[in-house]
Amino acid sequence: MAPGLPTAMDRPHFIGIGGAGMSGIAKILAQRGAKVAGSDAKESATAEALRALGVTVHIGHAAGHLADDAGCVVVSSAIREDNPELVRAAELGVPVVHRSDALASLMGGLRPIAVAGTHGKTTTTSMLAVSLTELGLNPSYAIGGDLDAPGSNALHGDGEIFVAEADESDRSFHKYAPEVAIVLNVELDHHANYASMDEIYESFETFAGRIVPGGTLVISADHEGARELTRRLAGKVRTVTYGEAEDADVRVLSVVPQGLKSEVTVLLDGSELTFTVSVPGRHYAHNAVAALAAGAALGVPAAELAPALAAYTGVKRRLQLKGEAAGVQVVDSYAHHPTEMTADLEAMRAAAGDARILVLFQPHLFSRTQELGKEMAQALALADASVVLDIYPAREDPIPGVTSDLIIEAARAAGADVTAVHDKSEAPAVIAGMARVGDLVLTMGAGDVTDLGPLILDRLSEQ
């Protein structure tokens, strides 16, 4: 049975409660019996899902939204210091708790698996949550994306395992003390917080150092950044490597595409094991193997966990089929880093056969575009044609001279067919006009480009 609530957490107030990470913690606290309240900038399906659990959700940010008897205020790194609810908390002397500390407190007394890496965290965390649930182990979990419906990003289970997505972007994953940690890959990203690969390595070393005595690090044997981290951690923590490399402890022998699924064969403890992964792409197959290795490290029999992994059928925005109209399928992708973009485009190419792939891409963050714009352009060159929108700023202020033109010009220089659309409302008509029967359209990016999939389907239906 899960432990009780820390005192300050019995009446928490979340600023930005609709966010993927924040809403998950709020949901678990509500399910554990806390009186949860919070605010968000706009109405959403997530806000409604939280209200259904008895959570008070205010729309907009105002000092009056914070109850005088709130036990604590939970914030993420995205909340600015001048937020009126945060200012009010200071006036009332209400303690402010970072999201990562709140999540860490929920793991107390349980057996945590923390999933880290520059890409693939949400998918791998979800695979573990679904497969462990399928086996009747009733895990708690907190994920950075919805499995199938709003609010399905987190659950309080009565089992002893807690699966959590561990975010390296602001170093908040240093707060956790997992029994098993997964590191899927180590690359330079989050340029506002990390100046170099050395800083990234140091941050991941700190995370690995938080693994409890006798615990296990599960880490990729195929990514150079992960191999370098493994070298740096030699002798400091029990390590299980996975991947296609010949020296991997859990070795991937084959990944055979079967439409939008894959058949994966691994060599584990001297025995071959073949199982199905119900989402397309080699990178998702590797995520499943990481989940398999992590479960085995916790003592879950691999022969039982492997078939249970087939129950995972995707996360919202991770190559999620939005629908089909006029013979054109529209798929949504959260990919926003060049490595993710390349992986998703290669997965779609393997699934698409001879079909054309058209991409509607929205760059995410000025800092990421400044640092990785050329690499994004190279990824887009894998599509048959692309439409590129203006940069989605999220939490950032503009950087002079940094626009989506950096990507567009580099993509054209690489031979890509790219169209610039600066008015987002025009994009559905543009991409629908380009599409013909049999094509696959991919809406791609971490911003609000996801909203355009249904509008593209509407346009296709009208043609």
Write out the catalytic residue numbers. 121-122, 165
Residue 41 — left, alpha, or beta (φ > 0 → left; ψ -120 to 50 → alpha)?
A: alpha
- 122 assigned binding-site residue: yes
Residues composing the chain? 463
d(CA 7, CA 146): 29
List alpha helices for 325-404, DSSP H: 338-352, 366-380
- 422 assigned binding-site residue: no
- Letter string b/e over residues 427-462, b meaning 16 or more CB atoms within 10 A of that residue's CB: bbbbbbebbeeebbbbbbbbbebbebbbbbbebbee
- 118 assigned binding-site residue: yes
Would you say 127 and 309 are in contact if contact means Cβ atoms under 8 Å apart?
yes
List alpha helices for 139-184, DSSP H: none
- 117 assigned binding-site residue: yes
d(CA 391, CA 404): 6
- 119 assigned binding-site residue: yes
Would you say 357 and 416 are in contact if contact means Cβ atoms under 8 Å apart?
no
d(CA 400, CA 391): 13
CA nearest to 143, candidates 310, 19, 12, 284: 19
How many other β-carbons are positioned within 10 Å of the β-carbon of residue 246?
7
- 123 assigned binding-site residue: yes
- 424 assigned binding-site residue: no
d(CA 357, CA 349): 7
How many other β-carbons are positioned within 10 Å of the β-carbon of residue 346?
16
d(CA 373, CA 404): 8
Query: HEC string of 65-131?
Result: HCCCCCCEEEECCCCCCCCHHHHHHHHHCCCEEEHHHHHHHHHCCCEEEEEECCCCHHHHHHHHHHH
Q: Which residues are annotated as a binding site?
A: 117-123
Which residues fall in the annotated binding site for ATP?
Answer: 117-123
